[in-house]
């Protein structure tokens, strides 16, 4: 593909892909034909438009070979799955550049203008799923060729054939191909000769649809806040039902999206429960939403629905809210985006006669279509545990807590970065390898109410807690005779009371979930071998180890494992090893401050500085199934400075 055409493809893809009202999850397609009209670069199947780049997310197709698909008379006689497999073979054979799988909509893209944008804008689909073709006469200006309306057709070959036939009639009547095509219960195609022109045309049609609904749509309603006890009970039941039916962990979210909250409080809930409105909704949220009249009914209503061919990932409770359900964070985010747009489509259409769901046969086609299975598969995680599990780490704004939290994110867990330092927790979460699986939570571990509120935030976001790591701590560096009482008491509050409050809250939730769990106590080599001028740290780190052993005995019958890591000196990103503390250590050893880190490293058997990632690796191991028979133990990560006796 020539450089200019590829640049235009990336331009239009990024422009529409960044707009949630235009594109949700991995939906939408874009394409640009070469100046000579011989090839076409099109988005690869399953690629998010916003992530397309010069070397990824698109494929280049030989247009003559794509258009030849229309001439194959045998395709109409084949059974659906065989036909679609043959078309995929033909499209794959037409690839001449790029990387990825050709889009399922390559066939209709081959028919239209040079630059094409195909999206599923909320306002447009409020038309295509609502008042339909009759609304276009009000929306379209009278001084330009009208848009083309296509009655619902199954995506892929059927849609391509429908567009081919209708566009041919349109061209004879108007002397040009349609610049805009409205697809019933599907979305919008616009085409033009240049990227800027195509983007402007796309924006104008979406704006026209938004103006059409603005005076007609009913206002949003809000729901009362769900109390902590009800939230916890509902999440425990949802995770239990899901685990029993599907045998995998569940991430569940009580959405704070205003459209979804409004849907639970309005008549549109019935529309969402009756079936999907568009193909994308089936791919990302299932064939329909579950609807319960009361929170107590939710798990009962969900259980039989999970046996359906396209099980629901959206559950509405009237006048309470909407729960999103998925095996991992990527699918959860996609489900929330698509469900929120479905709720808005239903709300906008409600002011113009209501929304129409896809027919049963249309929904079955999408459910059974290999191409959509492929798109959904791209969202799945193949990682071993802790992937799909929820972890909470205290002291995660800096130092060891931050390193452990980021290590758990890298291992696949959804992780709450908890710290009294809210900006620090936000920065640490944002810096993780997968920010959508990182939630910053302000938590003062010495405050009982703040700890409970922090856990509730995590349950609202992801539905439960499977792993808890207590890592918040301080180390006031004073000789015994100089130790201020307030510093001693603060160390006890954070390093012991804080661990107790967090572990107690975690144990209550894990025990209610009934699926075991893992707790990790971050102690220190100092908990095993005391150091000078460190009374509070010595006492609390040793105390943490004994708390861990007692909790392991108490919680073992519930399948909850409790272990400790005892790191050596971890200087990287540490707030404990601050300049003041390093100076105290230097004075204690009679060395210069810049010699402190090399000195302490020299005390280890391996002569190797311990990094945060070393401790994070130990924590990930202890939380994994590989450590399923390990509890009540202390894993020392100190390069061999202290030997466990």
DSSP string, 350-416: HTTT---PPPHHHHHHHHH-HHHHHHHHTT---PPTTTT-EEEEESTTSHHHHHHHHHHHHTT-EEE
For 603, phi then psi, to 5°, come to: -80, -10
> Which residue, 302, 311, 256, is CA-closest to 282?
311
> Crossing angle of helices 448-462/498-513, nearest 10°?
40
Cβ atoms of residues 158 and 369 within 8 Å = no
Cβ atoms of residues 58 and 43 within 8 Å = yes
> Which residue, 187, 173, 156, is CA-closest to 45?
156
Q: Which residues pair with 325 in a beta bridge?
A: 252
Cβ atoms of residues 569 and 577 within 8 Å = yes
Mark out the alpha helices in 291-357 (DSSP H runs).
298-305, 329-350
Task: Write b or e for each residue in 65-88: b if 16 or more Cβ atoms lie within 10 A of its Cβ, otherwise e.
Answer: bbeebeeeeebeeeebeebbebbb
H or E segment and range at residue 296: none
**170 is known as an active-site residue:** no
Long-range contact list for 446-449, CB < 8 A, 24+ apart? 446/493, 446/494, 446/497, 446/498, 446/501, 447/501, 448/501
DSSP string, 146-191: PPEEE----TTHHHHHHHHHHHHHHHHHHSS--SEEEETTTEEEEE
Instruction: Give the integer Cα–Cα distance in Å for 41 and 64.
Output: 13
Catalytic: which of 170, 537, 581, 600? Answer: 537
Rounded to a whole number, what is the distance in angstroms from the first to the last CA of the chain?
A: 67
- Which residues are catalytic, by number? 537
């Amino acid at each position: 593909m020539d450089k200019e055409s590829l640049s235009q493809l990336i331009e239009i893809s990024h422009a529409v892909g960044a707009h949630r009202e235009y594109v949700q999850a991995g939906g939408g397609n874009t394409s640009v034909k070469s100046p000579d009209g011989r090839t076409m670069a099109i988005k690869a199947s399953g690629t998010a438009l916003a992530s397309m780049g010069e070397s990824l997310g698109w494929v280049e197709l030989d247009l003559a070979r794509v258009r030849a698909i229309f001439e194959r008379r045998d395709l109409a006689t084949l059974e659906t799955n065989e036909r679609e497999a043959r078309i995929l073979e033909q499209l794959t054979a037409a690839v001449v550049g790029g990387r990825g799988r050709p889009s399922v909509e390559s066939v209709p893209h081959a028919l239209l203008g040079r630059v094409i944008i195909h999206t599923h804008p909320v306002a447009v689909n409020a038309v295509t799923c609502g008042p339909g073709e009759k609304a276009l006469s009000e929306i379209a200006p009278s001084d330009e060729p009208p848009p083309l309306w296509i009655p619902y057709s199954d995506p892929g070959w059927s849609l391509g054939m429908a567009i081919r036939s209708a566009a041919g009639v349109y061209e004879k009547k108007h002397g040009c191909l349609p610049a805009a095509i409205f697809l019933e219960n599907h979305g919008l195609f616009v085409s033009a000769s240049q990227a800027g022109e195509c983007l402007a045309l796309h924006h104008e049609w979406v704006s026209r649809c938004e103006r059409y609904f603005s005076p007609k749509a009913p206002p949003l309603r809000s729901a009362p806040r769900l109390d902590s006890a009800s939230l916890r009970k509902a999440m425990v039941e949802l995770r239990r039902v899901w685990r029993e039916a599907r045998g995998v962990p569940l991430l569940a979210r009580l959405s704070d999206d205003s459209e979804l909250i409004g849907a639970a409080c309005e008549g549109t809930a019935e529309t969402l429960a009756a079936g999907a409105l568009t193909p994308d909704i089936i791919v990302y949220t299932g064939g329909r939403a579950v609807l319960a009249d009361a929170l107590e009914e939710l798990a009962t209503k969900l259980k039989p629905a999970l046996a359906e061919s396209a099980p629901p990932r959206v559950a509405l409770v009237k006048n309470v809210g909407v729960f999103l359900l998925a095996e991992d964070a990527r699918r959860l985010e996609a489900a929330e985006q698509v469900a929120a747009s479905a709720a808005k489509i239903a709300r906008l259409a409600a002011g113009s006669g209501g929304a129409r769901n896809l027919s049963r046969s249309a929904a079955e086609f999408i459910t059974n279509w290999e191409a959509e299975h492929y798109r959904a598969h791209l969202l799945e995680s193949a990682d071993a545990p802790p992937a799909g599990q929820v972890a909470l780490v205290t002291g995660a704004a800096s130092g060891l807590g931050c390193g452990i939290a980021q290590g758990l994110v890298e291992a696949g867990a959804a992780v709450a970065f908890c710290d009294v330092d809210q900006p620090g927790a936000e920065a640490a979460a944002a810096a993780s390898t997968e920010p959508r699986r990182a939630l910053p939570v302000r938590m003062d571990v010495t405050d009982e109410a703040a700890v409970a509120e922090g856990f509730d935030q995590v349950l609202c976001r992801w539905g439960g807690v499977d792993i808890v790591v207590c890592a918040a701590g301080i180390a006031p560096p004073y000789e015994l005779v100089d130790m201020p009482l307030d510093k001693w008491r603060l160390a006890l509050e954070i390093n012991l009371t804080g661990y107790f409050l967090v572990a107690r809250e975690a144990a209550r939730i894990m025990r209610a979930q009934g699926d075991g769990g893992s707790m990790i106590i971050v102690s220190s080599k100092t908990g095993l071998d005391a150091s000078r001028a460190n009374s509070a740290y010595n006492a609390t780190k040793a105390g943490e180890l004994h708390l861990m052993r007692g909790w392991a005995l108490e919680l073992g019958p519930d399948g909850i494992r409790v272990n400790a890591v005892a790191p050596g000196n971890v200087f990287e990103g540490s707030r404990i090893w601050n300049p003041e503390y390093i100076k105290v250590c230097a004075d204690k050893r009679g060395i210069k401050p810049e010699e402190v880190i090399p000195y302490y490293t020299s005390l280890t058997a391996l002569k190797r500085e311990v990094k945060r990632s070393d401790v994070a690796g130990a924590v990930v191991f202890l939380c994994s199934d590989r450590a399923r028979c390990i509890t009540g133990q202390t894993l020392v990560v100190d390069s061999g400075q202290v030997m466990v006796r």
